[in-house]
Amino acid sequence: MTNYEQVALDISIVVPLFNEDESLMKLESWIRSVMEEHNFSYEIIMIDDGSTDHSWEVVTQLNEVNPAVKGIRFRRNYGKSAALNTAFASCNGRVVITMDADLQDSPDEIPELYRMIIEEKYDIVSGWKKKRFDSFIKNNTSKVYNQVARWVTGVKLNDMNCGLKAYKKEVVKSIEVYGEMHRYIPAIARWAGFRKIGEKVVQHRAREFGVSKFGIERFLNGFLDLMSITFVGKFGKKPMHFLGTLGAINFSIGFIILIYLSILKLFFDVAKISDRPLFFVGILTIIVGTQLFIGGFLAELISRSSPHRNQYLERERLGLNLDLQNQ
């Protein structure tokens, strides 16, 4: 089959958008001029994440004048992660670039990002908005947040959640972005075994049109997601190792306390051990320890019945046929 879809392109540009009708024309013509200048074969996948303005009409018009513009339209707003995940499944370029639709990211960065993936063989190159044009609160919370994320995930990036990133195709075909996890794609990829993760300082621009789609709740949600992604990354396939260890520690502490109190009562005739705070600490830690164990067993049962429990990402094979389905 030699139709257009089947030919591997140099670059897929993935643009999630939610109510960005004012920016799209300008974004498309800017991307197109950069692509033509460098002679890249490309596609722009615009995912309309349930916009209520005229975004989809604009995408349709753009597709009529430039067939490299392709579109997916969600029935409702599912979020940026859902948009990225869906576009990743359909993109066809050797290098996949994600960028925001609001013109805060500059398409001029694309050729260098492409070069870093192809020539320097990075799995991911993440943009770093060193000089940022967002609000004071956002700029500073983001610094703290990146520090914590670096520490927890071990991925040494200054700007984990930059919308402008470049990926080797294999990366986006191998990972799953769900919930609000788009903030941590480099961490997800690292846990999937893609370890060559680089960073490039990129231009950042103030939003020209419209408003930011993420409010103050991003900070708490971002933190909760960081905790769950760390847990899933480290213990997703063996939850009992985490919950069971905590359970065993709690249970043992409680057990020792209660044995100690029983000895006092039985052999030293100490009256009223139930008046002591230690008595309650003992009971509490035993109960908490048991609960953690039960949690661990349930988590094991759940992960064992997951259809993904025996899915591993293969890098290469020798002397055996590589399953080409995911390539």
Toward ligand UDP, which CB reaches closer, 15 or 124? 15
Measured between alpha carbons, how far apart are the two ends of the chain, in Å?
A: 17
The answer for residues whose C-beta is within 8 angstroms of residue 8's C-beta and 6 or more apart is 92, 93, 94
Report the largest interatomic distance among the alpha carbons of the chain, rounded to a whole angstrom.
92
User: Quick one: 168 or 213, whose CB is closer to ligand UDP?
Assistant: 213
x/- letters, 72..111, toward Mg ion (CB under 5 A): ----------------------------x-x-x-------
Residues in the chain: 327
Beta carbon nearer to ligand UDP, 79 or 239: 79
Least distance between ligand UDP and beta carbon 248 (Å): 42
DSSP designation for 107: G
CB of 29 to ligand UDP, least distance (A): 17
Q: Residues 62, 68, 87, 101: which binds ligand UDP (CB under 6 A)?
A: 101
Residue with tokens 């709690």: 250
Compute the least distance from the CB of residue 210 to ligand UDP, in Å: 8
Q: How far is the CB of 80 from ligand UDP (least distance, A)?
A: 4
Spatial strand order in the sheet of 69-73: 69-73, 42-48, 9-17, 93-98, 165-168, 124-128, 197-201
Q: Phi/psi of residue 280, each to 5°?
A: -70, -35
**H-type helices in 183-238, by residue range?**
185-191, 217-235
Q: By CB under 5 A, is residue 161 in contact with Mg ion?
A: no
Element (H, E) at 187: helix 185-191
Residues 142-181 as x/- pattern, contact with ligand UDP by CB under 6 A: ---------------------x------------------
User: Among residue numbers 104 through 143, which ones bind Mg ion (CB under 5 A)?
Assistant: 104
**CA distance linking residue 273 with residue 60, whole number of Å:** 77
Would you count residue 225 as binding ligand UDP (CB under 6 A)? no
Check binding of 12 to ligand UDP (CB under 6 A): no
Stretch that binds ligand UDP, among 10-18, 38-46, 252-260, 274-282 (CB under 6 A): 10-18
Residue 118 pairs in a beta bridge with none
Contact between 225 and Mg ion (CB under 5 A)?
Answer: no
Q: 51 — phi, psi (to 5°)?
A: -60, 150
28-87 residues in contact with ligand UDP (CB under 6 A) are 49, 77, 79-80, 83
Tokens coding 142: 């983001």
Instruction: For residues 6 and 293, give the distance between their C-alpha atoms in angstroms, rounded to a whole number.
Output: 51
- Which window, 100-108, 144-152, 237-245, 311-319, contacts ligand UDP (CB under 6 A)? 100-108
Told to check if 222 binds ligand UDP by CB under 6 A, we report no
Query: Could you tell which of Mg ion, ligand UDP, none binds residue 146, using a CB distance below 5 to 8 A set by kind?
Result: none
Is 54 in contact with 21 (CB distance < 8 Å)?
yes
Q: What is the DSSP string of 130-149?
A: SS--S-HHHHHHHHHHHHHH
Residue 5 Cβ vs ligand UDP, minimum distance, rounded to whole Å: 24
The site for ligand UDP (CB under 6 A) is made up of: 16-18, 20, 49, 77, 79-80, 83, 100-102, 104, 163, 212-214
The site for Mg ion (CB under 5 A) is made up of: 100, 102, 104
